[in-house]
A and B are shown apart, each in its own frame.
Chain A
Amino acid sequence: GNSVTQMEGPVTLSEEAFLTINCTYTATGYPSLFWYVQYPGEGLQLLLKATKADDKGSNKGFEATYRKETTSFHLEKGSVQVSDSAVYFCALSGGSNYKLTFGKGTLLTVNP
């Protein structure tokens, strides 16, 4: 079955530091890949997505590239801000049923 493995947190960075959160997946066929963000007290929000190999999703300074050869979708941001503090979930959707399979989530804390 489908599975998503993402690096365990928590991750603590200083403002303006570089961020990488690793995500690898196992799936049959050609899944779509997502990063969701959950700010404190709020629901999950779609941060970015990629639907085919070599696609790069980007939003709010975050980027992730769909790497089929390494089955990875690592999240990066060049300069994090305090407001980026949240839990980040990597997820995939495979097949026609649109079900999402999530990683365990990575808590990011950015200190001023």
Chain B
Amino acid sequence: GAVVSQHPSWVICKSGTSVKIECRSLDFQATTMFWYRQFPKQSLMLMATSNEGSKATYEQGVEKDKFLINHASLTLSTLTVTSAHPEDSSFYICSAAIGTTYEQYFGPGTRLTVT
């Protein structure tokens, strides 16, 4: 149980275009979803926290207009990287939490390469 999927698993896009990444909780309803970014040989950096039906809360230094997060249902959150640039190339990971628990279930991640 508690499986989280991400789609796509990898994507290549051209500079200036936008790309959407989906995060789904497959067998549970996620009250809260988190989006992380991971650079090579670096830790996971929390980008934003989203609750179903409300606006996402972004961490300091994360551009909310560039990284659009939508949490339309209890099983789906999306991250859209708008006007992507090569420096946005990274590994993006989502996680989902159930109710008022601190335990997060992680997706397998999405590798984004911007050319």
Q: How far is the CB of A90 from chain B (nearest CB, A)?
A: 10
B93 in contact with A98 (CB, 8 Å): no
Contacts known (A41-B108, A44-B106); A100 close to B49, Cβ less than 8 A: no
B42: Cβ under 8 A from any A Cβ: yes
User: Chain A residues near B46 (CB, 8 Å)?
Assistant: 99-101
A17: Cβ under 8 A from any B Cβ: no
B103: Cβ under 8 A from any A Cβ: yes
A25: Cβ under 8 A from any B Cβ: no
A93: Cβ under 8 A from any B Cβ: yes
Contacts known (A43-B4, A43-B93); A98 close to B44, Cβ less than 8 A: no
Complex interface residues of chain A between 34 and 62 (CB less than 8 A to chain B): 36, 41-46, 49
User: Chain B residues near A42 (CB, 8 Å)?
Assistant: 108
A interface, over-half SS: strand
A102 in contact with B106 (CB, 8 Å): no
Of the candidates A32, A102, A103, A105, which one forms a contact with B102 in the assembled complex, judged by CB atoms under 8 Å apart? A32
Q: How far is the CA of A41 from the CA of B110 in the complex (A)?
A: 11
User: Chain A residues near B6 (CB, 8 Å)?
Assistant: 43
Question: What is the size category of the interface that chain B forms with chain A?
Answer: 20 to 34
Complex interface residues of chain B between 22 and 51 (CB less than 8 A to chain A): 32, 34, 41-44, 46, 49
B79: Cβ under 8 A from any A Cβ: no
A98 in contact with B97 (CB, 8 Å): yes
Q: List 26 A-B contacts (CB under 8 A).
A: A4-B43, A36-B106, A41-B108, A42-B108, A43-B93, A43-B107, A43-B108, A43-B109, A44-B44, A44-B93, A46-B103, A49-B103, A89-B43, A93-B102, A98-B32, A98-B101, A98-B104, A99-B49, A100-B46, A101-B46, A102-B44, A104-B41, A104-B42, A104-B43, A105-B42, A105-B43
Beyond the given pairs A100-B34, A102-B43, 17 more chain A to chain B contacts, judged by CB atoms under 8 angstroms and listed by A's residue number, are A4-B43, A32-B102, A43-B6, A43-B93, A43-B107, A44-B93, A44-B106, A46-B103, A46-B104, A49-B103, A89-B44, A97-B49, A100-B44, A100-B46, A102-B44, A103-B43, A105-B42
For the complex of A and B, 6 pairs with smallest distance between CB atoms = A44-B106, A43-B106, A43-B108, A104-B43, A102-B43, A98-B102
